[in-house]
Chain A
């Protein structure tokens, strides 16, 4: 019996993984070759998807990709089931430089196992973190997470240990763990990959968080754009309930934990934690003023830990190997690894988990391979739609929260989108304002009105009718948005706009001199 592995991840299926699996099955049955296809998550070498891995004798696997349905017959003819030579031959994926150069802590199992096989998960080290946690007790769990230096991967980069401690100390008999799985940023997909490709990892992370702070109920707030993640998470939760991994008095302790998936409905702002809470309570997703912090007064007024998917998925590793081991990766105050998502105009787009400290240049060129179109790279946007556009000349910057913030950059959710020289940054700046206007929750004026005014100004400028006065107005508007908005949507939309103006003034019809006058204040 031959064993094959083909990804079932949403993005792999979008480029034909299901069709390829079907054709492989048909071709095999017409040749009377017995085989079984295991549908895995994706390694994240997306330019190679659909990737077909073949199990050879022993544990060795070799891969072929990207496979189109019409490649399947020639693959059979070249004996790929025994590792035969073919132009699509990749070899052992684990030895592929793209994977080998990474440091995979969170994604170590990704692509290798069947997402819904609890046995496979446990066999590959799953639930070791939780076992340790239950043995060590709450104090030490929070201590290890604090020592690890783990910071929230959802955007703000807030230390996770401190957040947990706050909720732990908050007096209440009912506390919640909420997983922020809204992943709204363009150019990001690592949350999706975890939920689809290794769902028990997220569940384990949430259980550890629940145990640490004394919460017995968790919610995963999932965006509706991820139907496969919804299906897989629900199945994974059911499996855990059946096998006694979720429920009351788990593993003979007094710890109980219950988990539910809650589906969003197409609102970017619901990724912001307080808007998320309102939405999770069944209301419009409006941002709440802070304080109080959700850690003290969150879901239905109870102490609530809100963490991003990747933050929670980092926790089992930390609890397995210890906070110090995790903190040995990374630099300065940016500890551990970050799953960086490379997309846009790149030859090799995909998921790259690396320790902090790697330069953006390495990510773009050594992993990403430069532009797909072969034209010069003009700009990258880092940190999602609220992140700045950076020119090539700044790419020596290391991936590091503090270093990036020196140039008004953000790590955000770890997404990097590349653009070649056909991009017009004035159009992208206009788009940023449009996005903000579209997605504004409407609670505060700088964002609600400012984004629309910003769009109008940009339109005037793009049509070549922008005067110096308009430029002045635009800077003033950005200033107001940054300083007077209630949340990051209005407060950060000026980042892409101002960076575009600063580094690419020609695209707006201005000269460097025009901008310099304002550069000091912004």
Chain B
């Protein structure tokens, strides 16, 4: 744990509900939440390791492994389904040769599902590194993937 994370821990562990905000901050800093932190988090928050680990694994946002350099999310909820998000999912999985929840072999892209971005009226929706794209068709999907691949070609 470096100083910055120590400081965050010191700050959030004084709050009665600081654990989830703390995890958000750590993930913002490091991209993930290392499991090695658990004993120290538990003792600072005065919780059992099981509780701390329980919260960490309950929420889809938090991960305990470093993600790829780029994060590609595709909405797979109903409204996007009705506008053909299946095709986008298929395209992305084929092009990156990974399934949802996985990172490409070269460590460049992590592919994640999302259940609704609130962009349903302009779906299908995809986000790349936090930037949201609407009305995505297969061509646009190909372009997005190509834009990532160009970055590391």
Q: Please give the distance in Å from A497's CB to the nearest CB on chain B.
A: 13
Report the Cα distance A133→B102, complex, angstroms. Answer: 53
Q: Which residues of B contact A227 (CB under 8 A)?
A: 130
Report the Cα distance A15→B126, complex, angstroms. Answer: 11
Cβ of A189 within 8 Å of any chain B Cβ, yes or no, is yes
Contact, CB under 8 Å: B134 / A11? yes
Say whether chain A's binding surface is mostly helix, strand, loop, or mixed: mixed
Q: Which residues of A contact B132 (CB under 8 A)?
A: 10-11, 13-14
Contact, CB under 8 Å: A11 / B121? yes
Q: Which residues of A contact B19 (CB under 8 A)?
A: 282-283
Q: Which residues of B contact A344 (CB under 8 A)?
A: 78-79, 82-83, 120, 123
Q: Please give the distance in Å from A473's CB to the nearest CB on chain B.
A: 25
Chain A residues numbered 1-35 whose CB sits less than 8 Å from any CB in chain B? 10-15
Cβ of B61 within 8 Å of any chain A Cβ, yes or no, is yes
Closest to B134 in A: A14
Q: Which residues of B contact A492 (CB under 8 A)?
A: none
Contact, CB under 8 Å: A11 / B58? no
Q: Which residues of A contact B80 (CB under 8 A)?
A: 186
Contact, CB under 8 Å: A343 / B123? yes
Contact, CB under 8 Å: A281 / B125? no
Report the Cα distance A226→B15, complex, angstroms. Answer: 24
Report the Cα distance A49→B23, complex, angstroms. Answer: 36
Most buried by B among A184, A191, A266: A266
Contact, CB under 8 Å: A267 / B59? yes
Q: Please give the distance in Å from A96's CB to the nearest CB on chain B.
A: 16
Cβ of B21 within 8 Å of any chain A Cβ, yes or no, is yes
Cβ of B32 within 8 Å of any chain A Cβ, yes or no, is no
Assign chain B's interface to a size class.
35 or more
Q: Please give the distance in Å from B111's CB to the nearest CB on chain A.
A: 15
Chain A residues numbered 304-323 whose CB sits less than 8 Å from any CB in chain B? none
Contact, CB under 8 Å: A225 / B114? yes
Q: Please give the distance in Å from B26's CB to the nearest CB on chain A.
A: 12
| Stretch from A83-91, A136-144, A249-257, A413-421 contacting the other chain | A413-421
Q: Which residues of B contact A192 (CB under 8 A)?
A: 118
Closest to B86 in A: A427
Contact, CB under 8 Å: B16 / A345? no
Q: Which residues of A contact B54 (CB under 8 A)?
A: 284
Cβ of A499 within 8 Å of any chain B Cβ, yes or no, is no
Closest to A196 in B: B118
Closest to A47 in B: B121
Report the Cα distance A127→B82, complex, angstroms. Answer: 40
Query: Which among A11, A49, A265 is the interface contact of B62 at CB below 8 angstroms?
Result: A265
Contact, CB under 8 Å: B20 / A279? yes
Contact, CB under 8 Å: B118 / A225? yes
Report the Cα distance A185→B115, complex, angstroms. Answer: 8
Query: Which among B17, B18, B120, B135 is the interface contact of A186 at CB below 8 angstroms?
Result: B120
Most buried by B among A10, A183, A282: A282
Contact, CB under 8 Å: A417 / B82? yes
Most buried by B among A46, A267, A435: A46
Contact, CB under 8 Å: A186 / B58? no
Interface string of B40-63 (1 = CB under 8 A from A): 000000000001001100111110
Report the Cα distance A268→B77, complex, angstroms. Answer: 12
Cβ of A262 within 8 Å of any chain B Cβ, yes or no, is yes
Contact, CB under 8 Å: A381 / B122? no
Q: Which residues of A contact B81 (CB under 8 A)?
A: 428, 431
Contact, CB under 8 Å: A266 / B60? yes
- Among all A-B residue pairs, the 3 with the closest Cβ atoms: A186-B77, A266-B60, A282-B17
A-B contacts, 21 of them at CB < 8 A, read: A11-B121, A14-B117, A15-B122, A44-B121, A49-B122, A183-B118, A185-B116, A225-B114, A225-B117, A227-B130, A264-B20, A266-B59, A280-B17, A282-B16, A282-B17, A285-B58, A343-B121, A344-B83, A431-B78, A431-B81, A438-B115
Report B's interface with A, CB cutoff 8 A: 15-21, 23-24, 51, 54-55, 58-62, 77-83, 114-123, 125, 130, 132-135
Q: Known pairs A186-B116, A266-B59. 7 more at Cβ < 8 A?
A: A49-B122, A186-B78, A227-B130, A262-B20, A344-B78, A345-B82, A385-B77
